[in-house]
Amino acid sequence: MIVAFGTDHGGFPIREAVLRAIRDTGHEPLDFGVQHPDPVDYPDIAEKVVDAVLGGRAERAILLCGSGVGMCVVANKFPGIRACVCHDPYSAGQGVRHDDMNVLCLGGRVIGAALAEELVRVFLAASFDRFERHRRRLEKIETIERRLLGLDGRQSESPEAVA
């Protein structure tokens, strides 16, 4: 699959390891940079990478920053993106199988190259378990997204908030 990729300076130390793991597992990175360790603003990178997924140019994405958190926060602002920081293999795989996670976020100041490679391998090898309970939960997330976007004709507050 095509895997959109982006990093800021904080994720730079594991950049090459992640790209190598994408290629070594038979996938193709779509690299949005950065290719240097100079400071940049992670929202600028995350937006480009996420746009590639939402626009259909990539199936999944991997984002790196110092902790993984900043990239994750930005990515999840975009409806249709299900991003998470996963620094353990169980979450990296289960996040795809149960939650259809489509963006993996990693922290280059938290984990090293070997663990980053393992997490990428697990993330890319996993596929969504299409059990009814998982699809039902995803549909609930999509319902929330439509409500927040005002696409269902309702206000953006939750029913509880306006009751």
- Given the residues 27, 87, 98, 134, the one annotated as active site: 98
User: Is 98 known to be catalytic?
Assistant: yes
Q: Using the rule CB under 6 A, which residue among 6, 29, 70, 93 binds ligand RB5? A: 70
Contact region with ligand RB5 (CB under 6 A), list: 26-34, 67-75, 122-130, 151-159: 67-75
Q: How far apart are CA 149 and CA 155, in angstroms?
A: 9
Q: Binding of ligand RB5 at residue 69 (CB under 6 A)?
A: yes
Q: Binding of ligand RB5 at residue 102 (CB under 6 A)?
A: no
Q: Are 125 and 25 in contact (CB under 8 A)?
A: yes
Q: Which residue, 3 or 40, has its beta carbon nearer to ligand RB5?
A: 40
Positions in 132-151 near ligand RB5 (CB under 6 A): none
Q: Binding of ligand RB5 at residue 12 (CB under 6 A)?
A: no
Active site residues: 65, 98
Residues forming contacts to ligand RB5 in the complex (CB under 6 A) are 8, 10, 42, 65-67, 69-70
